[in-house]
């Protein structure tokens, strides 16, 4: 296994057996090395494989543009996020977060900061990722002697959320947040309630709406496997929840051109009835 290119002491690229370029990372893995030198495989901590040539090109470009300490810092923060959230991310998160964090620091030093228009929604709908984003933000501010605003924690959280999903477009993560916002507003206005955002019932409700929104964005809504007798029972038992779900169905049809299956409506009714009942109680 021989080095194709050295980026810094801890980053280099090699050619796989299939002839594809693979980025390798490890402490001191490329120290004193040149193109063609052998790699000490025991020092490899991370390999970056990606079938998309555009992703490879972007990653390699970033490695050339971003200081090595920032590359190593962000890599450690991603590992921190994996451990904190107990989740795995797609490799693309390394490109997106390195690019975003380095750009944010550079903009700050030029006197420019960005507002996150969906900060409140992100902090509520993706609370675990947002909390990790806040911790990473503190580490960024400490390491680089900057004072990036809390808005950046929201941006970081959305990069993490996007890396958990099945699609590579960060736009999908923001569309998901918008859907959650719209549906929770439909329920809130229909029943004239204000949510107790600290309650476990609100958390369960948002969790269900979050996964529903992700399925909707990825066009993976559940269909009806068979005629659902339970749907009729719940529809008659919770008529107000059913009327509310009909409004959600109208929203989905208007915005996405799809109707909700009885299975999707059933679970929405159950969760809506639960959150409304607990709020009123």
pLDDT (tens digit per residue) in 18-70: 777 788 878 788 888 888 888 888 888 777 765 556 666 677 777 778 887 88
Query: What is residue 144's predicted lDDT score, i.e. its pLDDT?
Result: 95
Number of folded domains that form the chain:
3
**Are both 14 and 88 inside the same structural domain?**
no
Give pLDDT tens digits for 89-146. Answer: 887 788 889 889 998 999 999 888 888 878 888 898 889 999 999 999 999 999 999 9
| Weakest mean pLDDT among 71-80, 189-198, 202-211 | 202-211
What is the extent of the structural domain holding 21? 1-49
**Are both 33 and 69 inside the same structural domain?**
no
d(CA 30, CA 206): 46
Query: What is residue 227's predicted lDDT score, i.e. its pLDDT?
Result: 65
Residue 169 lies in a domain: no
Last residue of a domain, one of 139, 164, 189: 164
- DSSP letter at 227 equals -
d(CA 258, CA 85): 32
The CATH number of the domain holding residue 224 is 1.10.1790.10
**Are both 153 and 112 inside the same structural domain?**
yes
Last residue of a domain, one of 164, 194, 209: 164
Question: Which residues lie closer than 8 Å to 36 by C-beta, 6 or more apart?
Answer: 2, 3
Residue 195 lies in a domain: yes
User: What is the token pair recorded at 154?
Assistant: 């929201």
**Is the CB of residue 177 less than 8 Å from the CB of residue 234?**
no
Residue 171 lies in a domain: no
Overall pTM > 0.75 = no
Query: What is residue 260's predicted lDDT score, i.e. its pLDDT?
Result: 93
Q: Tell me the torsion sign for CA atoms 38, 77, 88, 102.
A: negative
Residue 87 lies in a domain: yes
**Is the CB of residue 176 less than 8 Å from the CB of residue 256?**
no
């Amino acid at each position: 296994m021989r080095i194709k290119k050295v980026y810094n002491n801890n980053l280099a690229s090699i050619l796989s057996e299939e002839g594809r370029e693979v980025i390798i990372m490890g402490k001191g893995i490329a120290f004193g090395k040149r193109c063609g030198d052998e790699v000490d495989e025991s020092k490899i901590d991370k390999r970056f494989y990606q079938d998309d040539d555009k992703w490879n090109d972007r990653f390699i470009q970033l490695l050339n543009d971003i200081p090595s300490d920032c590359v190593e810092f962000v890599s450690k923060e991603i590992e921190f996020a994996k451990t904190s959230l107990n989740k795995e991310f797609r490799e693309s998160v390394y490109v997106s977060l390195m690019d975003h964090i380095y750009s944010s620091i550079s903009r700050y030093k030029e006197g420019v900061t960005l507002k996150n228009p969906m900060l409140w929604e992100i902090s509520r709908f993706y609370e675990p990722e947002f909390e990790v984003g806040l911790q990473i933000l503190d580490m960024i501010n400490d390491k680089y002697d900057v004072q990036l605003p809390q808005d950046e924690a929201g941006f970081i959280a959305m990069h993490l959320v996007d890396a958990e999903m099945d699609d590579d477009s960060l736009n999908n993560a923001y569309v998901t947040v918008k859907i959650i916002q719209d549906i929770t507003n439909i329920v809130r206005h229909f029943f004239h309630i204000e949510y107790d955002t600290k309650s476990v019932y609100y958390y369960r409700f948002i969790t269900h709406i979050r996964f529903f929104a992700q399925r909707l964005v990825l066009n993976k809504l559940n269909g009806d496997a068979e005629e659902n007798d339970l749907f009729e029972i719940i529809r008659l038992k919770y008529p107000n929840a059913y009327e509310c779900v009909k409004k959600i169905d109208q929203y989905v049809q208007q915005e996405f051109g799809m109707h909700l299956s009885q299975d999707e409506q059933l679970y929405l009714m159950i969760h809506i009835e639960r959150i409304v009942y607990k709020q009123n109680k």
